[in-house]
């Protein structure tokens, strides 16, 4: 993943697709995969930068600066702060099926207890690129992208062996119909 414009696609918050791992500026984030935003919100200029990169992740700092009224250097500094605090990632978003991953799934998980410990353990597995604690019929949802059914079976076995995981339900993706990250900022 690139940390500067020049990589197709930009995402604020959760990222999905083939290029999914973000910059990890500190040891805690690297160990847990958790985003730590270090600030309650973004100012208007930072939001405009995010929106510019959501439209085109390859947009140059000069072009962004011209569009929002900042110098290229100021945009560069703000982008780096957004990356460092985890508010944004600049990634190449792909359809995994077109780049050699034949199986993509969402897995619903029910747990007995200690939900955050289970979520942290799942987040530590490289093959799992999305982990959320949810309300509803599942305690957790995870997304897995793998090369084939054999790899999926191996990952499912590891997930099911985690203490307090009681049940799983696997939803196999047949076709990616829509995937966007252009929800803007609030």
N-to-C CA span, the chain: 26
Q: Which residue has the tokens 């982008």?
A: 79
**CA nearest 95: which of 173, 152, 6, 2?**
173
Collapsing DSSP to helix, strand or coil, 106 comes out as: strand
Per-residue burial over 38-64, b if 16 or more Cβ lie within 10 Å, else e, is eeeebeeebbbbbbbbbeebbbebeeb
* 103 beta partners: 146
Measured torsion, CA atoms of residues 4, 59, 177, 16, in degrees rounded to the nearest 10:
20
Q: Which domains does the chain have, with CATH numbers?
A: 1-94 (1.10.10.10), 96-172 (3.30.70.920)
Backbone φ and ψ of 154, nearest 5° = -65, -40
Backbone φ and ψ of 144, nearest 5° = -125, 130
Backbone φ and ψ of 65, nearest 5° = -60, -45
What pLDDT is attached to residue 180? 78
Q: Residues 24-28: contacts with CB within 8 Å, 24+ apart?
A: 25/83, 25/84, 25/85, 25/86
Say how far apart CA 112 and CA 163 lie, in whole Å.
Answer: 9
How many other C-beta atoms lie within 10 A of the C-beta of residue 69? Answer: 9
Strand order in the sheet with 165-172: 128-133, 140-146, 103-111, 165-172
10-residue averages of pLDDT along the chain (186 residues): 36 36 36 42 91 92 96 96 92 81 93 93 94 96 94 96 96 86 72
What pLDDT is attached to residue 49? 94
């Amino acid at each position: 993943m690139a940390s500067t414009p020049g990589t197709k696609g930009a995402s604020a918050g959760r990222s999905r697709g083939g290029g999914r791992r973000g910059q990890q500026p500190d040891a805690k984030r690297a160990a847990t995969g958790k985003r730590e935003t270090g600030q309650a919100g973004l100012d208007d200029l930072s939001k405009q930068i995010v929106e510019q990169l959501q439209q085109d992740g390859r947009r140059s700092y000069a072009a962004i600066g011209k569009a929002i009224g900042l110098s290229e250097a100021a945009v560069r500094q703000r982008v780096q702060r957004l990356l460092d605090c985890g508010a944004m990632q600049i990634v190449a978003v792909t359809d995994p099926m077109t780049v050699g991953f034949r199986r993509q799934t969402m897995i619903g998980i029910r747990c007995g207890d200690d939900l955050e410990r289970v979520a942290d353990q799942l987040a530590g597995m490289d093959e799992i690129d999305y982990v959320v604690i949810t309300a509803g019929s599942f305690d957790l949802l995870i997304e897995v992208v793998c090369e084939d059914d054999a790899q999926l079976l191996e990952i499912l076995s590891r997930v099911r062996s985690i203490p307090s995981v009681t049940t799983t339900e696997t939803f196999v993706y047949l076709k990616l119909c829509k995937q966007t990250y252009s929800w803007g900022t609030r």
